[in-house]
Structure formats: C-alpha cells, structure tokens
Amino acid sequence: MLNKTLERYTAITEEKLGQIVKQESGLLQNTVFDSMRYSLFSGGKRIRPALVLGFCSALGGDEKKALPFAAAIELIHTYSLIHDDLPCMDDDDMRRGRPTNHVVYGEATAVLAGDGLLNRAYEAVFSEETVELVGAKTAIEAGRVLAGAAGVYGMIGGQIIDMENEGKESSAETVNRLNELKTGALIKAAAVMGCIAAGANETQIKAAELYASCIGQAFQIIDDILDVVGDAEVFGKPIGSDADNNKTNYVTLYGLEKAREMAFELTQKAKNTLDVFEKPQFLAELADMLYERNK
C-alpha cells in the first residue's frame, strides 16, 4: 500500500507543481521559469508533500484541500536546496545525479530562481483558487505554519547554525537544535498543514507534531549513519554531503550502535502517536520506510 500511495501522492503533487510553476515561453523572463522547473522536477522524493497529504487522509480529510500546501512546502524545500548548493554556501556541483542549478543557469539566476520558488509558495497559499477551496481561515493558518517553519526561527535559522558549526566540534544540544530547525521544522510543518487542511483538533495536531519530530530526528540520525556506512537519499540531502567536513553528528556523538538504537526507538515512538488518527496505516508504513533506509 505504501508505495502505491506514495506514487499517487507524487503524481498529484507534481501535477500541481506544474500548474504553479508553468513552463512559460512568451515572457521576457522565461529563463527564471526554466531554472525553477529544472530544480523542481529533478527526481525529488516528495516526502514533505506526502506528509501533508498523508496526515490529511489519516484524518479522513479531503486530500484536494491539502494539495496546495503539499505543493507549497515542496517549493520551499526546492528553493532551500538551490540556495544551499550555491558556491558561497555548500558549493555543490551535483545534486540528484545532475548538475546543480547554478552550474546550469549561473549563480545570479540560481539566486533569483530560489527567491522565485520561495515567493511562489506563498503566492500559491494566497491564491484565489486555494482560498476558494479551503477558505480564508484555513489558508491563513496553514500559511502561518509554513512561513514560521521556513523562516529565521525555523529552517533558515538552522542553515545559519549549520554554517557556523562547519568544522567545529558541537554539543549534542547544538546538533539537536540545528537538525530540529534545518530539517525538522519543515517536516513538522508538513504534518501540521495536513492536519489543518482536514480540520483537525488540538490533540491530533499535537500528535502530528510529535510524530513529525520523531521521524525528523530519526531521519537525521539515519542520514548520519549512512554518511558513514553507505548511502541513500530520501529527504533530498546531497549524497555524502556531511561525511567529509568533520561536523559533529549523531554518529560522532553516540557511535553507530547507539545511533541505530535511537533511530529505532524514535520510529516506534512516532508510530505510537498515531492512534488518534482514523486511518494511520500510511503514516505508520512511512515511518518504517524512512527507518528501513538504515539497512
């Protein structure tokens, strides 16, 4: 069931993304659309959209109403990868087996394509189509969660911390905080936006936050493990990106065995939060799948 559902979520998310960031041909600024689409359609696993759609469905909500938010969060994730890859940031030439955006389109266009995707995420939330579909109140609430998670108190804050800890030895507290913000914040926002789209109650939103926080941390731990023992790519991190810069991570902090154990326990804890949902099966299987990368 998991793979079929994931495939379907990916298909509807990509259709929506294609509507939000159209192929333009008659505009003087065509290039920026090409550049945005290059990174947007480059084989991302669409895990964040799957969380938005999965939580909405787990609550018996109408997944159509979650779709604009699923697309918006993927737009933001994609912009963050483009800016992260820039020469002045991680200076990565390859991502997902293809040259990075700035390698193909030049740095200036890559900066603007990133800006454009970030801005377009909010255009999608504010759009007449979205507001007609979900109502002004839901659009505002979901937008608030997304913007809070993407900004300087969320993901961007995490990127700053990450940069400043490059090549340093960091405390477990710093590593936790960094991951909580850099990757955790958007994962949590995805879960909560799915809940908001389905009209969830406070208890369900709290459960979703806990689930997301657990799989987010488990994901990061496994990522650190894979940087040591081999690799896979699910959440869109560049392959092996952290392996060679001596950054403190969960493996350097706790060792391989203890790290594996932590990831296992976090995955179980995530699954245990799901009993307040009507149809939790997809989310339980998703947690397992993310853990299984470990093997």
Task: Give residues in contact with its own copies (CB under 8 A).
Answer: 27-29, 31-33, 36, 79, 83, 86-89, 106-109, 111-112, 114-116, 118-120, 122-123, 126-128, 131, 136-137, 139-140, 143-144, 147-148, 150-152, 156-161, 163-164, 174, 177-178, 181
Least distance (Å) between residue 264 CB and its own copies: 28
Residue type (1 letter), 143: G
Looking at the Cβ atoms of 61 and 154, the one nearer to its own copies is 154
Euclidean distance between CA atoms 64 and 57, whole angstroms: 10
Tokens 């939060």 correspond to 273
H/E run at residue 11: helix 2-20
Cβ neighbors of 264 (< 8 A, separation 6 or more) are 291
Looking at the Cβ atoms of 1 and 28, the one nearer to its own copies is 28
Looking at the Cβ atoms of 121 and 286, the one nearer to its own copies is 121
Euclidean distance between CA atoms 217 and 48, whole angstroms: 14
Tokens 């081999």 correspond to 230
Tokens 């339980």 correspond to 284
Cβ neighbors of 210 (< 8 A, separation 6 or more) are 269, 270, 273
Given a contact cutoff of 8 angstroms between Cβ atoms, the answer to whether 198 and 60 are in contact is yes
Tokens 């936790």 correspond to 176
Least distance (Å) between residue 123 CB and its own copies: 4
